[in-house]
Amino acid sequence: MTGKNFKSFIFYCSPAGTTRHAAEVILRTLQSEPAETVICEIGKNEPQLKKILQNLAESREPAVVFVGSPVYSSHALPPIMNLIARLPRRALAYAVPFATWGGATSGLALEEMGEALSNRGYGVIAAAKVLAVHSLMWELENPVAAGHPDSADDSLIINLVTAVKKNMNQPAPALLAPADLEYQPREMAEDMLKLNLDIAKTILPPRTINRKTCTQCGECVVSCPVAALTLNPWPEFAETCICCFNCVRLCPENAIAADLTPIYDRIHKRAAAAREGEPTQIYLP
Ligand SMILES: Cc1cc2nc3c(=O)[nH]c(=O)nc-3n(C[C@H](O)[C@H](O)[C@H](O)COP(=O)(O)O)c2cc1C
Ligand code: SF4
Ligand code: SF4
């Protein structure tokens, strides 16, 4: 039996900040009534994450885990899928996947996160896709999905959390069916399955490091959301790099460079071909 006493855990990854924004709207809405909520940006602090996962494993109350990922190359980020695989198996476990997408395609992120969460024993009680400015287009005056998430997107997130709270007050919370998140036309889904971040890495422009202008200040190390960058003594990228381009965007000396212009056309074409229905949408049972 569940009731008002459920614990919430919000896990997210957000290289450019829009998924963090969505996570914070969730947090504020959960906290509008006294409710215990833990929020954790993954990839930043592994000891903290371990403690939170232990807390989740040991708590006896019903738990709702909100898991947020940006859509990269039609999928959720690998570190988020790894996090789901680490969630402890426990009783009374529920989940809400949410994905921010940059107007090209929300891809298979929600259905894959939903399936992985169910496989860990977390009943999926709601989900959301949230339109967000495309994070590869920060150099442009008018990036795809500029201005999102906006207040209308936030209102939908608030509605989502309000519905989750109501659902958790039921004796047995209602669950989404896997098919509810399989909203991409199946022929497009087939194509999306052929793309992933490893393939995208071969298409995305390479980064070059200018040793003359790099001051070895370490800002790029701090800006990396997945600890994939080290100074040795110049910036070096590990295999775990997710190609968020934060290090390029945030280097104060422009010492890490990448020419993103060739991919703008590709993003615009994908945005024109998308068949998404509502760009920001909440899914409830
Ligand atoms: C490498 C990379 C791949 C991306 N692939 C997609 C995509 O397939 N579809 C899409 O709509 N947006 C895509 N985006 C844009 C992000 O999903 C979007 O901007 C998201 O809001 C970023 O979240 P963040 O602000 O939390 O980092 C991609 C961004 C990057 C950096
Ligand atoms: S942020 Fe730029 S200047 Fe600083 S260490 Fe990294 S590459 Fe060099
Ligand atoms: S190394 Fe740069 S591009 Fe790769 S994940 Fe870190 S910040 Fe992003």
Q: Are 119 and 89 a contacting pair, CB within 8 Å? A: no
pLDDT for the residue numbered 32: 77
Nearest ligand, CA 224: 3
For the chain, the three-class secondary structure string (H helix, E strand, C coil) is: CCCCCCEEEEEECCCCCHHHHHHHHHHHHHHCCCCCEEEEECCCCHHHHHHHHHHHHHCCCCEEEEEEEEEECCEECHHHHHHHHHCCCCCCEEEEEEEEECCCCCCCHHHHHHHHHHHCCCEECCEEEEECCCCCCCCCCCCCCCCCCCHHHHHHHHHHHHHHHHHHCCCCCCCCCHHHHCCCCHHHHHHHHCCCHHHHHHHCCCCEECCCCCCCCCHHHHHCCCCCEEECCCEEECCCCCCCCHHHHHCCCCCEECCCHHHHHHHHHHHHHCCCCCCCEEECC
Nearest atom within ligand 3 for CA of residue 250: 7
CA of 225 to the centre of ligand 2 (A): 15
- When pLDDT is averaged across residues 233-247 and rounded to a whole number, the result is 96
**Structural domain spans, the chain:** 7-183+278-283, 206-258
Nearest ligand, CA 73: 1
pTM over 0.85: yes
Ligand 2 contact, 248 CB (< 6 A): no
CA of 92 to the centre of ligand 3 (A): 36
Q: What CATH topology corresponds to 206-258?
A: Alpha-Beta Plaits (3.30.70)
- When pLDDT is averaged across residues 109-117 and rounded to a whole number, the result is 98
Ligand 1 contact, 280 CB (< 6 A): no
CA of 207 to the centre of ligand 2 (A): 13
Instruction: Read off the pLDDT of residues 142-189 as tens digits, 9 standing for 90 and up.
Output: 999 999 999 999 999 999 999 999 999 998 999 999 999 999 999 999
Q: Which residues does 179 contact at the CB level (< 8 Å), separation at least 6?
A: none
pLDDT for the residue numbered 96: 98
Nearest ligand, CA 231: 2
Tokens representing 134 are 């495309």
Protein residue with its CA nearest to atom 4 in ligand 2: 217
Residue 35 has pLDDT above 80, yes or no: no
Residue 191 has pLDDT above 60, yes or no: yes
Residue 24 has pLDDT above 60, yes or no: yes
CA of 77 to the centre of ligand 1 (A): 10
CA of 163 to the centre of ligand 1 (A): 27
Ligand 1 contact, 260 CB (< 6 A): no
Residue 1 has pLDDT above 50, yes or no: no
CA of 100 to the centre of ligand 1 (A): 7
Of 24, 69, 72, 260, the residue with max ligand 1 atoms within 8 A of its CB, to mutate for a pocket test, comes to 72
Residue 84 sits at the vertex; the CA angle it makes with 78 and 86, to the nearest 5 degrees, is 105
Residue 117 banded pLDDT, cuts 50, 70, 90: very high
Nearest ligand, CA 255: 2
Q: Are 122 and 176 a contacting pair, CB within 8 Å? A: no
Instruction: Read off the pLDDT of residues 62-88 as tens digits, 9 standing for 90 and up.
Output: 999 999 999 999 999 999 999 999 999
CA of 228 to the centre of ligand 3 (A): 6
CA pair distance 15, 162, nearest whole angstrom = 27
Q: Which CATH architecture has domain 7-183+278-283?
A: 3-Layer(aba) Sandwich (3.40)
pLDDT for the residue numbered 126: 98
pLDDT for the residue numbered 230: 96
